Amino acid sequence: MARKIVVFLIILISFLLQCTFFQWLALGGISPNLLLVVTSSFGFMRGRKEGLIVGFLCGLFIDIFYSDLLCFYAFLYMYIGYANGFFHKIFYREDIKLPMVWITVSDFLFSFVSYIFLFLLRRRLDFPYYFMHIMLPEVIYTVFVTLIFYRLILWINGKLEQREKRRESKFV
């Protein structure tokens, strides 16, 4: 139960930071995608199921407060969390290269799918402009913020796992 509360608080705080503080720190109107970092991180650390659930909740926050289409972002984040969960078996806590690479790939995919469904289908065909002025800066900014934010999520997850192991050893 404590894990569920802490994960929900991480999602809520990340959402609030993404929509307030990092909007204030936006560079050229671009802010990092913290909810994508949270979704991908839990996919790596906890597996497909937790990545899927965390992704759905992260996307649902965006849908409820900012989107005209309900569940568009929820499903997009959900699929990203599920896909990152496949790398749970090769995930090592000390190695930051795998999360950095897959968070970068996830952000590119997120931006590309968003472009297809939110712009391309409405005949906005200027992909090079979208790539250079929105996708690439967001990915770079997200990767930079990931260096700090990912370590914090990893530390919190480690503390939760220690607490769960202590609780399990008391019952055995």
> What average pLDDT values come out for the chain (172 residues) when binned by 10 residues?
94 97 90 97 95 98 92 97 94 87 97 93 88 95 95 94 85 64
Largest interatomic CA distance in the chain: 62
Residue 82 CA to residue 169 CA, distance in Å, equals 30
Residue 148 CA to residue 32 CA, distance in Å, equals 12
Closest CA to 41 of 125, 165, 155: 155
> Which pair of structure tokens corresponds to residue 168?
């399990």
Give the pLDDT score at 9. Answer: 98
Look up the domain containing 112 and give its range: 2-171
R_g (Cα) of the chain, nearest Å: 16
| Spatial contact of 37 and 150, defined as CB atoms under 8 Å apart | yes
The sign of the dihedral angle between the CA atoms of 68, 111, 21, 100 is positive
67: left (phi over 0), alpha (psi -120 to 50) or beta: beta
The packing angle between helices 34-46 and 48-66, to 10°, is 160
30 forms bridges with which residues in the sheet?
Answer: 27
> Which pair of structure tokens corresponds to residue 6?
């802490």
Give the pLDDT score at 11. Answer: 98
The CATH number linked to 135 is: 1.10.1760
Number of domains, the chain: 1
> Which pair of structure tokens corresponds to residue 70?
């309900």
Give the pLDDT score at 172. Answer: 59
Task: Please state the length of the chain.
Answer: 172
Residue 158 CA to residue 118 CA, distance in Å, equals 38
Place of tokens 């970068």: 104
Is 0.75 topped by the overall pTM?
yes
